[in-house]
Amino acid sequence: MHSIRLIAVLVGAAILEVSGDALVRMGLQRRALPMLAGALCLLVYGVVVNLGGTDFGRLMGIYIVTFFLVAQIIGVIAFGQIPQPRTAAAAGLLIAAAALMMA
């Protein structure tokens, strides 16, 4: 059960981080509201990612894998960018590493 909760927290954190970055990017075009919304998303991300309930190094290792996977999914959905074979192979290695860290 702890693993399911951890994955849910990390997926939520990754979505917040990607969204926050996208909003800050929009805000750099001299638009204050997206910049503020992006800053708020990134602040909430920082809180959410630390709700994982495990030691910091392990948490960040698993989070990086989660972030990578969420970024690939968003790349496909939002931009139609299909991962290259090397990226897919790297994803497999990352998933194996995360599984090892969670064991």
Residues 13-58 pLDDT 10s: 999 998 898 899 889 988 899 999 999 999 999 999 888 777 888 8
Q: Whole-prediction pTM value? A: 0.78
Contact 45, 101 (CB under 8 A): no
Give the separation between CA 61 and CA 7, rounded to whole angstroms: 12
Contact 42, 17 (CB under 8 A): yes
Which pLDDT score, from 0 to 100, does residue 59 have? Answer: 86
